[in-house]
Amino acid sequence: MTGILAVVLVLGGLIFFHELGHFLGARFLGIGVHIFSLGFGPKLVAWKPGTTEYRLSLIPLGGYVQLAGEKEENDDPLPESFHFALRPPWQRMLVVLAGPLSNFLLAWVIFWGLLATQGVEELLPVIGHVAEDSPAAAAGLAPQDRVVAIDGHAIRIWDDLVTAIEGSQGRPLRLAIERQGTLLETIATPRIQEKRTLFGDTRPAPMLGVSPAAVLQHRPLTVAEAAWEGVLHIGRVTGLMLQGIIKLIERVIPWTDVGGVILISELIHREAQSGIVQLLALTALISVNLGVLNLLPIPVLDGGHILFYLVETIFGRPLPQRVQEIALRLGMTLLLTLMILATINDILRHLP
């Protein structure tokens, strides 16, 4: 029951927060909102203190917003000044954009809180293995050496070491290393080799031929440091997701790896058993993914609508209605195809 409740709260909460962004964006710009519903389907409870009806609906997975004059309806009871479709393109764009931005904001708040309370675990630049006949071996590097500086620049974590090596373009590097309490210096020249990426393909990169010793260090963060680190977390996750989409299109990542709601639900269920910290971290990751996916320029998604409004802004008039309808149908077909593919993949993963 705990896992099921976690799935409902996480998925429903993320979609609801997305719709809350649209709602707040519309209200901020003075656009009328007819209905703001928590959940889908038949309404259970409704409350209408003004022009907006607030609903609690039967199906708790998310929510929706019905804007005034969203499709230039002639029978809308609100004055035309409140109609969404009659607003300038930039205002419509902001209302649509507010949904994905809300997902990024939620992810940032979660990351911020986790980092401020939990700190970070950092991989130290301690060498665990030196490959034979490698530039590192030729330079005399050995396991348990800690790289403290390269060309006079301090190396604090393993990522600093990787960045310095890959940024060298193969030129000789002056390494300061700490070995059993003694500071030593050596010159190492990276060799251009094929490096396997996170997505399984390879690319040429300068390498020394060393791997880390998996020595971790916990570093607490101040509130301000945690806030900035949360921004960097979102940037890294967004970058990886965009790279993943590109690799998927290039077929570097097989389509059989695409997962859907079943896989996401299983991950939420698993992390719920591990503890609240792990569940919150996964929630933030899914929230970023939801924000990125909704910004893709595919008709039906928020990104597709933003593209329509951008074209209208540039040319001074909207795309012909027929063109928009065809684009929306194609976008819906693409999304349904991806959903079916993801569901089939999820089912096949459970077959013997």
What residues are labeled active site?
19
What CA–CA distances, in Å, run from 283 to 111, 227, 270, 272, 349?
10, 17, 12, 10, 23
Distance CA 165, CA 159 (A): 10
DSSP for 278-290, please give it.
HHHHHHHHHHHHH
Minimal CA–CA distance to 17: which of 226, 300, 294? 294
Return the bridge partners of 194, or none.
204
Minimal CA–CA distance to 38: which of 46, 28, 30? 46
What CA–CA distances, in Å, run from 34 to 102, 106, 336, 349?
21, 25, 28, 43
Distance CA 206, CA 172 (A): 11
Minimal CA–CA distance to 18: which of 99, 93, 97, 94? 99
CA atoms within 13 A on the CB side of 247: 17
